[in-house]
Amino acid sequence: MNFESLLEESARIHGHLCPGQVLGVKMSVLGLKKTGIEDPKGRDRKNIIVFVEMDRCAADAVQSVTGCSLGRRSMKFMDYGKMAATFVNLKTGKAVRVIAKEDSRGKAKKCFPDIGDKYRAQLEAYKIMSDEELFDVMDVRVEIKPEDMPGRPLRRVRCEKCGEYVQDMRDVVRGEKVLCRPCAYGGYYKPEKLNREGAKDAK
Query: Given pLDDT bands bounded at 50, 70 and 90, which one contains residue 103?
Result: confident
Q: How far apart are alpha carbons 92 and 97 in whole angstroms?
A: 16
Secondary structure (3-state) at 105: helix
pLDDT of residue 5: 93
Q: How far apart are alpha carbons 75 and 73 in whole angstroms?
A: 5
Residues sharing a CB contact under 8 Å with residue 41, sequence separation 6 or more, in sequence order: 66, 67
Please indicate, yes or no, whether the overall pTM of this predicted structure exceeds 0.85.
yes
Region class of 64: left (phi > 0), else alpha (psi between -120 and 50), else beta: alpha
**Mean pLDDT throughout 160-175?**
95
In percent, the amount of the chain with pLDDT more than 70 equals 95
> What does the pLDDT look like over 83-93, one tens digit per residue?
999 999 999 99
Written as one letter, the residue type at 174 is R
Does 77 score more than 60 pLDDT? yes
Domains of the chain: 3-148 (3.30.1330.130), 152-203 (no CATH)
| b/e code 70-102 from CB counts within 10 Å (16+ = b) | eeeebbbeeeeeebbbbbbbbeeebbbbbbbee
Written as one letter, the residue type at 131 is D
Secondary structure (3-state) at 36: coil
| b/e code 16-54 from CB counts within 10 Å (16+ = b) | eebbbbbbbbbbbbbbbebbebeebeeebbebbbbbbbb
The C-alpha angle with vertex 163 and arms to 157 and 169, in degrees rounded to 5, equals 25
> What does the pLDDT look like over 5-35, one tens digit per residue?
999 999 999 999 999 999 999 999 999 999 9
Does 131 score more than 90 pLDDT? yes
